[in-house]
Structure 1
Amino acid sequence: MHSVSRLWDHGGCHVASWNASHTRCQCNHMTNFAVLMQVKDFEIGEAEKASLEVLTIMGCCGSIAALSATLVILFWLKLRSDRFILLMNLSTAIILAQIVFLVGVDATEFQVEYATMFICRSLISVYRKIDQSSKLVI
């Protein structure tokens, strides 16, 4: 979709064939077509916005709770094979991503929140590098 005109952007694509019921396009770029987008303009009421916000928060909190329970169970059972360590790392990463999303989803105006998110992401990156380097065998 063109960012200014809000119409389909035809750049890089052309019609390869068509008939009365189908059109087949061919494109010469690697754009991801699995994008959430609004093709037609429509208004979302305040009640719907509030409902969507509550559902988003509930979904993220449910995800965080389930992933936390997974971590607790894995620690409690002392499962330490590579498979379970990978599961713990993945669960931790998803928990952190959910928290960053919940904290940052409305932080569009405030520089302090941006700085906090930057610091959190930087610390996560540093942790990953340290974790990777500790597993190197020379």
Structure 2
Amino acid sequence: MDQNVVILIVAILILLGTGIAVVLNRRPRLRPLPAESVERFSRSWQAVESRFIDDPRAAVQEADRVVVMMLTERGATMHDERHVPDDLRSARAAAASDEGRQGTEGLRKAMLHYKRIVVAAVGSPKKEKETSRREVA
């Protein structure tokens, strides 16, 4: 075989291998949630945040469940660690850390990571308009 042909074949194989690697390692694009799902997950997240004050560990477990359901509905592939969002990975690591097992600081950090995922999917939580009432004496 001519040396130029061998070089051409090697170059083609390298390009082909690089293309395959890029396709296999590409993170899937997440679909936007339909309006009814946005509303449902917003309500779920508000309940999770409210629960954190009384039972931080249970709130973090519920946050993980809500976020995984939301990501799955958006088309995330959760079975492959390479495709798990960085914030989800960080949230789980914070909850499992010494700070998360022995106190609330790790759990608080986990909630912040979960919240970033939720806000990216459903937007910032809607603050309920507080109505001020005058006390009548």
* Fold match by TM threshold 0.5: no
Of structures 1 and 2, the one with the larger relative CO (CA 8 A, separation 6+) is: 2
TM-score with structure 2 length normalisation? 0.31
TM-score with structure 1 length normalisation? 0.31
Structure with greater proportional helix content: 2
